[in-house]
Amino acid sequence: MVKKMFSAILIVLVLWSAQESLFANEAIHKNKESELADDFNLSDLNNKKVSLSKLRGRSVVLFFWTTWCPFCRRELKALNNMYADLTKDGIELLAINIEEPAYKVDNFVKTNKFVFRVLLDKDMAVAESYEILGVPTYVLIDKKGHIVFEDHYFPQKEYKDLILQ
């Protein structure tokens, strides 16, 4: 467990360092426009099932995160602040916690007063299907269900152009 935690922390630090120092003002992302987003069924903190396929026709932001990641915490606060604007634009935000106990995630969400839906990827199956390499990771999906952006930052300037067309 310690080895797994150390590896995860190391990945986060490497990704953050690359993001902050090397690519601070460059939009680096994978454009996977022809790739249809993998469907999934996850439970939220109220044990209600959420399926990506049922959101087809809506733009979706998937945010993969953990409670122990300091960069995730920063991004979660930013997402909480812009959640009203996202929903006003018809964008669904799904914050997907990776492999942490529900009680821990629920406590964290309540303490921070997050208003968006949080899903639990208890066995990392969804994170693995999306080939997530480190957190935080954003995956933006257009109304047709195609992945149009994937990276470790939120594309603040271009997200509307990417997923609202």
Chain segment 3-35, per-residue pLDDT in tens:
555 455 545 444 444 444 333 333 333 444 468
The answer to whether the beta carbons of residues 159 and 140 sit under 8 Å apart is yes
Of 128, 145, 129, nearest in space to 36 by CA: 145
pTM, to two decimals: 0.81
- Maximum separation of any 2 CA atoms in the chain, in Å: 44
State the Cα–Cα distance between residues 8 and 94, nearest whole angstrom.
Answer: 22
Instruction: Answer whether the bond into residue 155 is a cis peptide, omega within 30°.
Output: no
Pairing of strands 137-141, 147-151: antiparallel
Q: What is the pLDDT of residues 99-146, one digit of tens each?
A: 999 999 999 999 999 999 999 999 999 999 999 999 999 999 999 999
